[in-house]
Structure 1
Amino acid sequence: MLNLVLFGPPGAGKGTQSEKLINKYNLVHISTGDIFRAHIKNQTELGKQVSQIIAEGNLVPDSITIAMLEEEIQKNPQAKGFIFDGFPRTVAQAEALDNFLASINSSISGVIALDVTEEELTQRIAKRQEISGRADDAADKLKKRIEEYFSKTIHVLPYYEKQGKLTKVNGIGEIETIFAELCAVIDSYKA
């Protein structure tokens, strides 16, 4: 089973590259952001809680995120693998994911971090906000999300680096060039 974590700050291109990787490797995409938005749209009890947390620019608590993630994995027992987008965001989440995957005789194959400068992120998010109108792309919320990434989330990288599973890829450039680099990394996992 090929299980990938695609890592990077908001606007790094995780969603764009995930779509391409899903098609090439026949993976199931698990985006915590998409899961949260679905709960919010359907006005579930969880969605109401998540909506308030996200609206304030904060990270959703681990217990909620992990439970939702496990549910998504269990919905796809025949999957060839998963691509985790926006998760894990804390070392505790990474440990919980490793433990859960081990319980189903699986593991993370590799972690790919898209490196993008803060200036590039700001430009990309501004463009995305114009197109999508996503509430989590508002300037003040964006600033908080980027700060969260660089102050908290980035600390997950050494966790995977110690396991020998981390590869960094330049996330600035042509989409196809970045995709080719990602594929080269992923193909090395299967070698």
Structure 2
Amino acid sequence: MNSGREPGRTAVRRVPLAVLAVVVAGSLAGCGSDHTADAGADTRWAAGITPEWMSGHMGLDVPATARSVRAAYKVTSRFDTGLLTFTLSRAEAEAYLRKHPPSGRWLTPTAAQPDTPRSDFTHLGLPEPETFEEGVRYGFVCPGTEPYDTSDGNCTRLYAHAYAPDRTRIYLRAHFEPGVGPLPTAS
């Protein structure tokens, strides 16, 4: 089904944020601090995920000037998680954030969450963005909805971490209903 999207793009139904919050809260309720989201026989990292594929499923572009571009896709029985990350110069990052404003306003964490389970971005060799104390802001970016509406389930959490005087890393995390397909085949 194409649903008016670009030719060749598959319509993707994302998990509504309210449902996702209940699932995540329930899954973490009885877990110790060593819990990882990768635990479980029904969890696997999909092979062959490219930044272009992930960008298309998220509905968010990767600028041509981006460096250190990485993507991954975790398949579980409850919800799938798509990851996309890249670095930009500070000026390029500010332009990207203006192009993709958050629903509401940019938020800054009140404190780092060092006990954040190592799971998603750790798979790509990066720290989880929730663990940063300074230089980070985040929000929900909801491509394809004007004005942005976080209840429609088409939102991606975007973190922007100014990790060097002139470099910013963009972290994108989206959740999808299980069975988004077809997944790319590994080469």
| Structure of greater relative contact order (alpha carbons < 8 Å, 6+ residues apart) | 1
TM-score of Structure 1 vs Structure 2, range by shorter chain: under 0.3
Write 1 or 2 for the structure with the bigger share of helix: 1
Give the TM-score taking structure 1 as reference length: 0.24
Higher strand proportion: 2
